[in-house]
A and B are shown apart, each in its own frame.
Chain A
Amino acid sequence: MLPLVALLDVIFFLLFYFMAAGTLTPPENELPATLATEQVGAGSSSSDFTSQVIYVERASTGAAGPVQYRIGQRTMSTRSELDAVLSSLPKPPGIVIRAANDVTVAAVAEALDAARLGGFSKISYVSGR
């Protein structure tokens, strides 16, 4: 009969190691963006369409106002509304995201993710309002 005590010791040490060294935090993902100059989206596109701009801003003045997304004259207050509008836009020109200084990074990430899931491969980011 094989002496299994030492083997079991090693097995349990390995087991405890992986349980302790592993983390319960979920893996991090990434949202790609390209930093755009101010000219991007202002008619310099070589395609028939120009890039649309998603403005991420507060609906009302003050830090407590809800975040809204604006594309041209259309204003969206929820992610589903933003997704619906983005799905109807032409994809080749890409899209530009411009976030106001008083919104949070979470709102910026929401716009980036909506653009990515909306099928845009060219996503640019312009700083400032």
Chain B
Amino acid sequence: MNFASKKPEESELALNVIALTDVAFLIIIFFMFSTHFTRTQLRSMDLPRQTGDTPAETALPVIIEIDADGLLSLAGSGRSDLPTILAAAQGRASPTAPASQTLPDLVIRADRNTPALHLNELASQLSAAGIRGWKLATNSGG
């Protein structure tokens, strides 16, 4: 007679982590593709809420910020004096670059509640400096 007792099944508590791993990877991929990384050099600003165009993937733009009080600053540099700002805007064009070369964009980020007086003054200065094209940043979420 075989009295050998049946070997008890190993009751090892094993979590099935394969499905968990799959889901975690899917979430990571979702965040990788849907994330818009904050441009930390830019100030937090309540931009005008209009649809606007999606920015072109060109060279890094020169960004001029106008806060709600009308104070100008050059994004990323901390400089707020007008000559420096205008020089940066003019400096987008390299003297040796061909005329057909696409210039980096000049983007104005202005708080939506800023009086247009400050935008007009900046536009006048840019125009006087021979700068013609610019773009107004908007917040498409509005």
Contact = CB atoms under 8 A, between A and B. Distances in A.
B123 A11 contact: no
Contact of B116 (A23, A30, A33, A101): A101
A2 to B, nearest CB: 9
Given A15-B31, A28-B47, A102-B115, 17 more contacts: A8-B17, A18-B28, A22-B36, A22-B37, A26-B141, A28-B109, A30-B54, A30-B105, A30-B107, A31-B135, A33-B136, A34-B132, A103-B116, A106-B112, A108-B119, A109-B112, A125-B123
A29 B51 contact: yes
Interface stretch (A42-50, A83-91, A112-120): A112-120
Nearest to A117: B51
B137 A35 contact: no
B119 A99 contact: yes
A113 B37 CA distance: 25
B15 to A, nearest CB: 9
Interface string B77-118: 000000000000000000000000000010101111111110
A104 B111 CA distance: 9
Contacts, number: 161
A100 B50 contact: no
A107 B116 contact: yes
20 contacts: A8-B21, A11-B21, A18-B28, A18-B35, A25-B141, A26-B139, A27-B140, A28-B138, A28-B139, A29-B53, A29-B138, A29-B140, A33-B133, A104-B114, A105-B66, A105-B110, A105-B115, A109-B49, A113-B50, A113-B52
Given A22-B36, A101-B115, A109 B50 contact: yes
A19 B35 CA distance: 8
Contacts of B11: none
Closest 9 CB pairs of A and B: A29-B52, A26-B141, A109-B48, A22-B35, A18-B31, A127-B120, A101-B117, A113-B50, A106-B112
Contact of B133 (A23, A26, A34): A34
B116 A29 contact: no
Contacts of B2: none
B68 to A, nearest CB: 9
Contact of B38 (A23, A100, A113, A125): A23
A128 interface: yes
B137 A128 contact: no
Nearest to A26: B141
Contact of A112 (B32, B50, B117): B50
